[in-house]
Structure 1
């Protein structure tokens, strides 16, 4: 059975856990989220998506 999870969901959970355990302050979390939004609207969004897809493909090839 194949289960897919959105990377946005995973990063959101990770960010929430960092805030909960006080490893990341609210101000830093805001900066991290805003950086993500601004990065998504630049020309770097395409290469970041391609790099992420390549890493996911490489990881899935290692496990199969």
Structure 2
């Protein structure tokens, strides 16, 4: 039986544990980049981009 795991979930899980253990290295940067790259190709990309745009547009009104 083959079990497949989404690369987004895999990179997200690894990044979560790296951030929890305060491990910062070149490997952590690779994991964070991979997570962002694969997350951008999911359905979550549009809401994340909209949230970032809304936050940037709200900054001058603070």
If the length of structure 1 is used for normalisation, what is the TM-score? 0.57
Report deviation, 1:24: 2.0
SS in 1 for 2:60: helix
- Shift of residue 25, structure 1, vs aligned partner: 0.5
The list of structure 1 runs, each at least 4 consecutive aligned residues, that deviate by more than 3 angstroms after superposition, is none
* Residue 59 in structure 1 maps to residue 59 in structure 2: yes
Instruction: Compute the RMSD of aligned alpha carbons.
Output: 1.3
Unmatched tracts of structure 2, length 5 or more: 1-22
Aligned mates of 1:53, 1:24 — CA distance in 2:
28
- Count residues in correspondence: 40
Q: Which has the higher contact order (CA 8 A, sep 6+)?
A: 2
Q: How far 1:61 moved relative to its partner?
A: 1.8
TM-score (norm 2): 0.59
- Match in the other structure for 1:47: 47
Please tell me whether Structure 1 or Structure 2 has the larger radius of gyration of its CA atoms.
Answer: 2
